[in-house]
A and B are shown apart, each in its own frame.
Chain A
Amino acid sequence: MKKILKSDNWYLKCGIFITGFILIVILIGQFWTPYDSGYMDGAARLEGPSFAHIFGTDNFGRDILSRVIEGTGTTFLVSFCINLIGLLAGTMIGAAAGYRGGLFDDLLMRICDAITAFPNVMLALVIIAVFGSGDLNIIWVLGILFIPSYARIVRSQFVQQKSCNYVQMAKLMGASPLRIIFVHILPNIYSTLLPAATIGFNNAVLAEASMSFLGVGVSANKPSLGRMLNEAQSFLVGGAPWYAAFVGLAIVLLVMGLSLLGEGLQKEQLRGKK
C-alpha cells in the first residue's frame, strides 16, 4: 500500500481511489440507503436536486440517489459474475489450447474468433431473443461472450511460457500436464491476467448497461444503471435532465475507475519487467 501511495503511477492511484470509493458506497448501500429505492412518492415526482433528495427524484417519485447506489451494486454484481464466467472458462480453454497446441489449439481458437467476429451486445440480443431475458440469462450469455477475449490472452501466454526452461524442467521431472498448467505456468501469467480482467470488467459493466438500456437486461424489480438511463431518456428534453445526468455520471465513474485501475496495473507490470 505504501509503495502505491509513494509511486508516481497516477493511473493506479486514481483507479484505486475511485474504485475503492464506489465499492465502499456499494457496500454501505447493501445495509442503508437514504430512502427505500422502491418507495414511490406521488407528491414528489421529477423533483430537482434538493437537500431531501440530493440527486432529485424520478418519474415515480423515487429517490434517485438511493436507486443509483443500489443500481451500481446490481450492475457491479452482474458484471462480476459475467467476468467470473469469462475468466474461469477463458483461462481453461486458453490454457488447454496453448499448452496442447496443434489441431486442438487451432480448432478452439477459430471458434473463439468466430464468436469475437460479432459485436458482443448484438450477439447477446439475438440469444436473449431466443431464450428470453432474465437476470441469470444475461449473466451466462454475456459470460460466454466474454470467454474468447480471455482465452486468447491466456493462450498466447501459455505458448510463450511453454518453451521456458522452468516448464521444460518440470516436464523432465515428470510433472503431469495439469500440475504444470496450474502450479507452474498460471502463477507466472497472473500479472498479465490482472489488468486484462480489470478491462474485461469494464467492458462487462458497459455491456450490462447497454443491454438494460435496450430493455433486455436486468429485470425491473431492482434498479440497474442501464435501465435507469433508459427510463431517464424520456425526461431528458423537458422535465428532468438531472435524472439522466446523475445515472450517466455513476456509469462514467464506475467505468473510469476500473479502466484507470487496469491501465495502472499494466504500467506497473511493464515497470516490473524492466
Chain B
Amino acid sequence: MFKKTVALFLAVLLTVSLCACGGDRKGDRKTNNEIVVGISQDLGDSLNPYQMTAAGTKEIMTNVYEGLYKVAPSGDFIPAVAEDCIISEDGKVYTFPLRSGVKFHNGKELTVQDVLYSFKTCSDITVDSSLPKIFEGLTVESEGNNIVMKLSAANNDFLAYVSLVYIIPEGYSDQAATQPVGTGPYKFVSRSVQENIVFEKFGDYWGNKASVDKVTCKIYEDASALVAAINAGAIDVTAHLTPDQIAGLDEKKYDFLEDTMNLVQALYLNNARKPFDDVRVRQAICYAIDVDEILDLTANGHGSKLGTSIYPKFTKYFDEDLVDMYPHSVEKAKELLAEAGYPNGFSMSVTVPSNYTPHVNAGQVIVQQLKAAGIDAELKEVEWNSWLTDVYQGRDFDSTVCGFDASTITANALLSRWVSTSGKNMIGFSDPKYDELISKATAETDDAVRTQLYKDAARILAEDAANAYIQDIAEIVAINKDLSGYVFYPLYRIDFSTIHY
C-alpha cells in the first residue's frame, strides 16, 4: 500500500512539475529579453557555411553568417561585409571595398585575407550545386582594402551568388562545422543535438544591433508536439505552420502572420511521355484542375495561385495575367481531350512524395478533379528517396505533385531549369523558342530588356501548359503578442535581429 501511495504521489508530482515547466516561463523570458523559436527539424550535421544543405539549417544560420552582400527583405541585394560594389562597364569586374571595423564573433577583426580565404574554401568544398558554375573562370584578388573579382563573362545575377559565399575567419573552416563563427548579428553559443541551438546577441555587430539578447531554437520534430508546445506558451516564434495547424491555436496569445513558402507547386507533367507530349492533353489537364478548390480543401483558401514557374513574391517577373489562363472547366477539358484523340480519357498516375503532406493533399484533390473530367488518375505515394531517384533523376513518371524553390533569388534560378538541355529538366520540356529566350536573357545586360525576356519565357510555359501550375503554398508564422518586428524574406530565412519586445 505504501509503495502504491508513493508511486501515485510521484506521478502527480511529475505531472504538476511538467505543467509548471510549460506555462510560467513566458513572463520570465520577457524580463530576460530572450525568445524561444520552435523549429520542426534539427539543423544539419555540419554547420560549416559551405556544407549546409538543408533549407532549415540555412534559414537559421544566416543569423550567424554574412557574405559580402546579403539579401534584403525586398529581395534586393544590399552591402554587408563589403561597403559597396563597383561594377565595370562590361560587367566583368566587380570591386568590393570592405567595410571597416567589421568583427568576427571570436573578436578578430575582418581583413581581406579572410575574404580571400572564404572564397577559396567555398570554391573547394561547397555542396551548393549552383555555386561551382560561378567559380569557373573567376579570379578573386585583393587590392589594398578592396576585393576585386574578375568574371570570364558578364553575369547579371553575380551578386546573388556572392551573397551565398559566407565570410569566416582565415583558417577556420575545419572548426566551423561545430563552432560556427561569422560576422552576423547573432553568435552561436551551444548546440545539443535533437534538442536545441542557442544564440546570443553579438554586441560588436557592425550594423543595427539585434534587440533580443538570447535566442533558443527548440526542435520539435513531431508536428503535433510543436502545436501543443505553442499552445502551452513554451514557444515565442514558429514559422512554417499550416493554416490547419493554427486553427487550434489561441488568438489571444499569438499573432498570425501569413506568408508563402516561396516555391512553385505544380502537377508536373512528363512532357516526353505519351499522352502528355500533346499540348492539348496538357491544356485539358490544366482546365480540369480547379486550383481554387485545391486551396479551399487543403489550406482553407490560403495560398497564392501561380500560372507559371514564377511565384508572386518575384514581383518583378510575376505576370498576373497568367494566373487565370486556364479557368476551371470540365467541358473544355473534355473537348480538348476529344480533339487530341482521347474522347474517353486515359489513365495516368499522380506520383507524390509521401513525406510532404501539402503535396500529398493536393494530389488527393487533383485525382478527384481529373476523374471528374474523365481521366482515370491514380495516386501513387513514394518515399522521398525513391522520388529523387525514380522521378527526378530517372524521369520515370506520368505526373507528380511537388514544389521547386529558387536557389538564389533570380528568375534564372526558376526558369533555366526548363531549358531542353538542362539536367534539371525532369519533365523533358522542349521548346526552341523558350531555350532561345532564356539564353538571350542570361546574356542581356539591360535590366528592363532582361526582365521582359524572362517574362516572355514564363508566358511560354503557361501557353504550352508545360505543367499544371497550382500555388505557392501558404504558411503562417505564429508570434507571441508581446513581440513584434518579424520580417519576411523572399527566400527561406528567419531573421532574429529585427524581432523585439
Contacts and interface: CB of A to CB of B under 8 A. Distances in A.
Summarize A's interface: helix, strand, loop or mixed.
Answer: loop
Contacts of A239: 244, 247-248
B407 interface: no
Contact of A235 (B244, B246, B355, B365): B244
Given A40-B368, A237-B224, A237-B231, A61 B247 contact: no
Contacts of A40: 293, 297, 365, 368
Contacts of A220: 360, 363-364, 379, 381
A234 B245 contact: yes
B380 interface: yes
B238 to A, nearest CB: 14
Nearest to A241: B248
Interface residues of B, number: 33
29 contacts: A40-B297, A42-B293, A45-B297, A45-B300, A59-B297, A59-B298, A59-B361, A60-B297, A60-B298, A60-B361, A60-B365, A132-B383, A132-B386, A216-B354, A216-B383, A219-B379, A219-B380, A220-B379, A220-B381, A221-B367, A233-B224, A234-B224, A234-B245, A234-B357, A235-B248, A238-B227, A238-B231, A238-B245, A238-B247
Given A42-B293, A239-B247, A215 B381 contact: yes
Given A45-B300, A236-B224, A219 B381 contact: yes
B382 interface: yes
A173 interface: no
A133 interface: yes
A129 interface: yes
Task: Determine which residue in A38, A132, A220 has the highest number of CB atoms from chain B within 10 A of its CB, and name it.
Answer: A220
Given A219-B379, A219-B380, A220-B379, A237 B365 contact: no
Given A40-B368, A132-B386, A215-B381, A238 B248 contact: yes
B223 interface: yes
Task: Determine which residue in A59, A61, A129, A238 has the highest number of CB atoms from chain B within 10 A of its CB, and name it.
Answer: A238
A221 B244 contact: no
Contacts of B381: 133, 215, 219-220
B383 A221 contact: no
Nearest to A36: B368
Contacts of A38: 368
A106 to B, nearest CB: 38
Contacts of A61: 297
Contacts of A45: 296-297, 300
Given A42-B293, A61-B297, A220-B364, A237 B248 contact: yes
A239 B300 CA distance: 12
B176 interface: no
B227 A237 contact: yes
Given A42-B297, A235-B244, A60 B380 contact: no
Given A40-B297, A215-B355, 20 more contacts: A42-B296, A59-B297, A60-B298, A129-B383, A132-B383, A133-B383, A215-B381, A216-B383, A219-B378, A219-B381, A220-B364, A221-B379, A234-B223, A234-B244, A235-B248, A236-B224, A237-B224, A237-B228, A237-B231, A237-B248
Task: Determine which residue in A45, A129, A237 has the highest number of CB atoms from chain B within 10 A of its CB, and name it.
Answer: A237
B249 interface: yes
Contacts of B224: 233-234, 236-237
Interface in B222-280: 223-224, 227-228, 231, 244-249
Contacts of A215: 354-355, 381
Nearest to A61: B297
B359 to A, nearest CB: 12
B163 to A, nearest CB: 36
Interface string A111-146: 000000000000000000100110000000000000
A238 B227 CA distance: 9
Contacts of B363: 220
B293 A60 contact: no
A108 to B, nearest CB: 33
Task: Determine which residue in B244, B293, B361, B379 has the highest number of CB atoms from chain A within 10 A of its CB, and name it.
Answer: B244
Top 6 closest A-B pairs, CB basis?
A238-B248, A42-B296, A239-B247, A220-B379, A237-B227, A237-B248
Contacts of B367: 221
A238 B249 contact: yes
Interface string A210-251: 000001100111000000000001111111000000000000
Interface in B346-362: 354-355, 357, 360-361
A61 B149 CA distance: 57
A12 B345 CA distance: 51
Contacts of B357: 234
A134 B226 CA distance: 31
A161 to B, nearest CB: 46
Interface string A163-199: 0000000000000000000000000000000000000
Interface in B324-370: 354-355, 357, 360-361, 363-365, 367-368
A162 B102 CA distance: 89
Contacts of A236: 224
A221 B381 CA distance: 10
Given A133-B381, A234-B244, A60 B223 contact: no
Contacts of B355: 215
A42 B224 CA distance: 24
Contacts of B296: 42, 45
A60 B368 CA distance: 11
A60 B299 CA distance: 10
A40 B290 CA distance: 13
A45 B355 CA distance: 23
Contacts of B297: 40, 42, 45, 59-61
Contacts of B248: 235, 237-239
B32 to A, nearest CB: 28
A214 B109 CA distance: 51
Nearest to B222: A233
A141 to B, nearest CB: 15
Nearest to B379: A220
B300 to A, nearest CB: 7
B195 to A, nearest CB: 22
Nearest to B246: A238
Nearest to B300: A45
A53 B364 CA distance: 21
Contacts of A235: 244, 248
Nearest to A220: B379
A215 to B, nearest CB: 5
Nearest to B296: A42
A237 B245 CA distance: 9
Contacts of B380: 219
A38 B376 CA distance: 14
A204 B101 CA distance: 68
Nearest to B363: A220
